[in-house]
Amino acid sequence: MHETLDQIREDAARRLARAASDRRSAMHTPVVATADADTRVMVLRAFEPWSLRFHTDSRAPKVAVIENDSRVGVLFYDRDEKIQLRLRGTARIERDGPTAQAAWEAGDNFARRCYLGDGPGSVSDAASSGLPDAFEGTRPTDAQLVPARANFAVLLIEIEHLDWFHLAHDGHRRAQFDLATGAARWVTP
């Protein structure tokens, strides 16, 4: 498969780039963990070496957690290729900056309607999407979405550590990278 640490670092970058751009990628929906040990599956929206972008509701409990303690972990796994990427880094929430605004503008109205409803974790008397009845199954107009923009934010993660793991019948392989210093090493699985 990969013989050198440089090849593995390049492989990880290719996998993350594909995960961000291809919704059929096995790594498109990683597990993101915050410092309070809470985890959730999120959709990877963008990757630039070595940073990740996700979309979130600014009212979500994870936003307050990240603003209090910016440490996060992200787990990607490709079952068919048996490659696991474990990333650790520093997160920040952007509500109003150019990255958040560009992400908002790039979304379609059907997806943006999610930010019109009740905030994540709101208690309900019955099963509910949290959306107002008028927007269940419909695409709002730009004018109807104006209040939703206040609830939209992006989660940006600067990756500091990468752990690459390949499960293989003839012997597993594992490598670790400190992306801040450039240090890399093989480790036993």
Domain CATH for 47: 2.30.110.10
pLDDT of 120 over the 90 cut:
yes
Whether 47 maps to a domain, the answer reads yes
Whether 125 maps to a domain, the answer reads no
22-78 pLDDT per residue, tens: 999 999 999 999 999 999 999 999 999 999 999 999 999 999 999 999 999 999 999
Q: Which residue has the tokens 């994540």?
A: 120
172-185 pLDDT per residue, tens: 999 999 999 999 99
Give me the pLDDT at residue 5, please: 97
Mean pLDDT of the 10-21 span: 98
Whether 120 maps to a domain, the answer reads no
Mean pLDDT of the 126-151 span: 92
Give the integer Cα–Cα distance in Å for 62 and 38. 8
pLDDT of 156 over the 70 cut:
yes
63-73 pLDDT per residue, tens: 999 999 999 99
Give the domain extent around 19. Answer: 5-94+154-187
Give me the pLDDT at residue 16, please: 98
pTM: 0.95
* HSE value, Cβ hemisphere, 13 Å, CA-based, for 15: 24
Pick the closest to residue 160 from 187, 175, 180, 176 (CA basis): 180
Number of domains, the chain? 1
Give me the pLDDT at residue 1, please: 66
Mean pLDDT value across the chain = 96
Six token digits for residue 130: 């949290």
Give the integer Cα–Cα distance in Å for 44 and 55. 8
Whether 147 maps to a domain, the answer reads no
pLDDT of 82 over the 70 cut:
yes
Mean pLDDT of the 120-142 span: 91
Confidence of residue 187 (pLDDT cuts 50, 70, 90): very high
